[in-house]
Each structure stands twice: as structure tokens, then as C-alpha cells.
Amino acid sequence: MSDSTVGDTEFESIEDSLLMFYADAFGQMVPHRVVNRDFVARQDIETRDLSKGIFSFLYQGERPTDDDILVVLQVLVVAQIEIKERSKPSDVEKAELKLLQEFRRFSNSERGSEFHIKNVATSHQIEHPYGWVMINCEFGPVDLSEDGLDLPEADVVVGLSPNVGLGHEQDYVPESEFKNGY
């Protein structure tokens, strides 16, 4: 878990630990990008990092669920990029869509399956040669009680969706077996 200090008090945040874990997991999928938990304003980002593309995982809040213990985290993923000066504004949009595609690939993978994209906003080419994408996500539901966080040590995925489709036909009981009152 991540240790933080506020004043003289140290604390561990489950939310921060989750976001750090998933930012690291996403970073492994896109090693050509910079991925972290710290939003940095564009003017403060080193040019070489901005030209690679930067993703920041930010906590926005949470909403309750029907279960008193579980909540759904609201997460904002901000991606920023700079493309070549001699490019066209539509090239910024193409770069933004590539960033979105990379995050979407993560959220559709086993590793990022807890992320559900709710809406997306882009720069609309207005800030050429700079681009950005804001991806509003929900994550969870998760148990934020003291005993609720149990991050995997290896490639185990929290909230893994079942394997379905080709090659998994025998993994499940046929629907016809449930029609007799089961």
C-alpha cells in the first residue's frame, strides 16, 4: 500500500493504492507512454514526455451501491500529448483517438475490466499541436473497509469477468438445465 503523510499523520488510502496498482498495470501495457497518478499541467511537462503521451489516473469521488460496504469509485483518466509542429489539427485528433484506443484496450482486458468508461472528452483540435483526452470512468464496486483491500501480488485480476465464447462452451451449465425450477 502507498503511505502518505498529512501534517504529522501517516495514513494508507485504499483508493490511492487501487489507482496506483491499476496505473502501474496500464503502464505495463503501454510502455511507450508515461503513466502515473500525478496530473501535471502541460506547460510543466518535459517535451520528451509530452511527445510520448502522458496518462494520469485521478480520483474524482465515489458513489454508494445497494450494498452498505461496497462503493463505486469515480476515476478521471487524463491523457495529454504533443505532436509535431508541422502537423495538421486533424493529426491531433488522430493522436487523441489513439490514446483513447489504448485505454479502451486496457479497460476491455482482464487486467482493467473493473474500469467502465462513462464518457470521453477531447480537445476538438483547438489546441494544436497539443491534444488531450479526459476519460471519465467508474471503477468497482469495491470494498473500502479496512479488510477490503487485497491487491494481487502477481497477475491475478480483481473482479475478473468470466471467460465466455469459443473454447469455453463446456465451462458453464446449459440454460436448459435451469428450466425445471433450479
Total structural domains in the chain?
Answer: 1
Residue of 35, 173, 36 lying closest to 102 (CA atoms): 35
What is the domain range of residue 156? 3-178
So what's the pLDDT on residue 168? 60
Q: Is the pLDDT of residue 20 over 60?
A: yes
Q: What is the mean pLDDT of residues 164-181?
A: 57
CATH of the domain at 50: 3.30.2000.10
User: How many Cα atoms are found within 13 Å in the side-chain-facing hemisphere of 24?
Assistant: 12
User: How many Cα atoms are found within 13 Å in the side-chain-facing hemisphere of 104?
Assistant: 11
CA 159 → CA 9, 40, 113, 133, 142, distances in Å?
32, 30, 7, 26, 9
- pLDDT, tens digit, for every residue of 97-123? 999 999 999 999 998 888 999 999 999
**pLDDT classification of 169: cutoffs 50, 70, 90:** low
